[in-house]
Amino acid sequence: MKTIAFLLHNNFEQAEYEDVNNQLKNKGYKTILITTNKDKEVQGMNQDVNKGDTFIADIFAKDAKVADYDALVVPGGTVNADTIRGNKEAHDIVNAINDAKKPLAVICHAPWILINTGIAKGKTLTAYNTLQTDLENAGANFVDKTVQIDGNLITSRNPDDIKNFVDAIDKALSA
């Protein structure tokens, strides 16, 4: 059974974690929740406006071993993605997954971490529409598609694209 790790902090877009997680579990994957938060209880948000549910992370980022995971998913949410993009532990995990050429799936505002790690440069990516200029300034080619795949990178725009996002992750892990 392949294991998919989710990496988040706090105030993440709940659907981009919970719905993606549930759909991947329904496809037979084991999932694990990694947090950069100092507490294992993490707060979901609904459309960055209303507090959603809380979830308990399985492991802190500092204790995560990338070799244990077959893929990494980074949910968005503006506050979550902005916090993650500046976190060294998150950078280490994202870079290690990318260096291992394992599927690295980021959605909505989460592609910001691809900018801060330097991964975005020269890649064709999609994201929430307000990230277009950020991605282009980082040397990426921005496209407005439900899902964009560039090598091991899987990017998606928003919660409306979750089904296609999950299908792309599944296809990458089935290859």
Distance in angstroms (rounded) separating the CA atoms of residues 12 and 75: 7
The verdict on whether 91 is a catalytic residue reads no
**Residue showing tokens 């947090």:** 35
What is residue 151's three-state secondary structure? coil
In 86-131, where does DSSP find H-type helix?
Answer: 88-99, 112-116
Q: How far apart are CA 161 and CA 111, in angstroms?
A: 15
Is there a contact between 115 and 138 (Cβ–Cβ < 8 Å)? yes
Catalytic residue selected from 109, 125, 128, 169: 109
Q: Which of 20, 57, 108, 173 is catalytic?
A: 108
Distance from CA of residue 163 to its chain's centroid? 15
109 is catalytic: yes
Tokens in use for 85?
A: 């993009």
State the catalytic residues. Answer: 108-109
